[in-house]
Amino acid sequence: MFLRTIAPRIEVALSDTPVVLVVGPRQAGKTTLVKQLARPDMQYITLDDEATRSSVKDDPVSLIRSLDRAVIDEVQRVPELLLAIKKAVDEDRRPGRFLLTGSANLMTLPKVADSLAGRMETQQLLPLSQVEIRHNQTQDLPANWLQEVFNGHVPKVTDLAMGPDLVDRVLKGGYPEALTRSDDDRRAQWARAYIDSILVRDVADLAQVDKLDKMPRLLEAMSHTAGQMSNYAKLGGQVGLDNKTTNRYVGIFEQLYLVRRVPVWAANRLNRVVKTPKLQFIDSGLLAAVAELSHDELARDRTRFGALLETFVYAELLKHACSSSKRYRLFYYRDVAGHEVDIVIENAAGDVVGVEVKASATVRRGDLDGLRKFAAIAGDRFKLGVLLYDGDQILPFGDGIWAAPISTLWGR
């Protein structure tokens, strides 16, 4: 059992909100967590059970009427339930009546004609973060990395991971079940079975897919362009899909919390929507399995580690954003001259922190050019720039720019 950093936020939501929805990828630990947090008088219902799902689809209103408080697992499998829940909480708005889980972004489902806006709070649970893995069962968790850097501090590190240790953590990722597998081959077999089960079980709940057999091949093609700007025509061409269909299928993977399209940061927010997003996987271990990256493969070709490490850092920052009480959004930066920053974090006030990722133990001044250019463009909004690298020292480079070990993401 792992302590989940998002648990306090769910508990607070249950204390003042009628419906709380915990969303995230399958096997990230949603069911385990909601069972821990549920009140003793809450009835548990899982819609993964075929008989239960069939009964609920026939008469969702009757089911909800019969419940006072309930945990409903995998609610995306019968989205009609949301309208029945909406009606029930309009009549009785006691906080904590329904605790739901979902493995898909419910608000994008075509069958959901109405939302629970104002009645429901959504919390996102991703695979385990390194904070949760490294500080398992420790109540004294490190401060949230994002909150620290927006306060102008680069967190110190006590649990240092470099070289082979860092590679091992990146290849394992954060899915609890994958962490129990003994080696790369066993994790790869788990990942293949995991993806197959999602495609069989969940895709049909989201959309009509005519070429389901193309989706595993598309995901594999995406694994080789992780961290790069989306090119749907090129991706689709590799597996025999047109641009429009590829875009739609990528959207389905995004709804299932396997990948995320990361928008570009621009000082003018209107310009962000017309720029090309980057594709990132939610979990570096899953990406490694799909791309067939292992300890042996990375030992032969270290250059392939860079994109995988960027995915790892992106996922860790996303988990910090999900567990924080403050609002953060993740972007990337690229200008017409080719200056880039791997990850840009923006808070609710519009302030920004830039993060570069380098799979090397050495930092050169030229590695900071993207951060310096970004700092100049962001102006007063720029709070800090951090180059995360495979080293053991925190190094100042002036003008609010630092190099720091990747381990600061989970250190104290």
Does the pLDDT at position 173 exceed 70? yes
Nearest by Cα to 125 from 409, 284, 319: 319
Which of 41-50, 51-60, 98-107 is predicted with the least confidence, judged by mean pLDDT? 98-107
For residues 109 and 140, membership in a common domain is answered with no
For residues 230 and 100, membership in a common domain is answered with no
Does residue 1 lie within any of the structural domains? no
Q: How many angstroms separate the CA atoms of 238 and 329, rounded?
A: 32
What does the pLDDT average to over 40-55?
92
86-139: pLDDT as tens digits? 999 999 999 999 999 999 877 665 555 456 777 899 999 999 999 999 876 555
Write down the pLDDT at residue 203: 86
Q: How many angstroms separate the CA atoms of 385 and 370, rounded?
A: 10
Does residue 2 lie within any of the structural domains? no
Q: Which domain holds residue 272?
A: 131-409
118: domain CATH number?
A: 3.40.50.300
The DSSP output letter for 52 is: H
CB-based contacts of 249: which residues, under 8 Å, 6+ apart? 209, 214, 215, 218, 241
Does the pLDDT at position 273 exceed 70? no
Does residue 228 lie within any of the structural domains? yes
Q: How many angstroms separate the CA atoms of 15 and 10, rounded?
A: 9
Task: For residue 346, report the phi and psi dihedrals to the nearest 5 degrees.
Answer: -120, 135
Q: How many angstroms separate the CA atoms of 25 and 195, rounded?
A: 11
Does the pLDDT at position 201 exceed 70? yes
Does residue 163 lie within any of the structural domains? yes
Task: For residue 405, report the phi and psi dihedrals to the nearest 5 degrees.
Answer: -60, 145
Total number of domains in the chain: 2
For residues 48 and 171, membership in a common domain is answered with no
For residues 191 and 326, membership in a common domain is answered with yes
Write down the pLDDT at residue 7: 94
For residues 104 and 11, membership in a common domain is answered with yes
Average pLDDT value for the chain: 91
For residues 120 and 145, membership in a common domain is answered with no
Write down the pLDDT at residue 254: 94
More confident residue, 113 or 20: 20
For residues 370 and 283, membership in a common domain is answered with yes
The DSSP output letter for 229 is: B
For residues 20 and 166, membership in a common domain is answered with no
For residues 259 and 369, membership in a common domain is answered with yes
Last residue of some domain: 93, 124, 155?
124
pTM for the model = 0.94
For residues 180 and 269, membership in a common domain is answered with yes
For residues 226 and 293, membership in a common domain is answered with yes
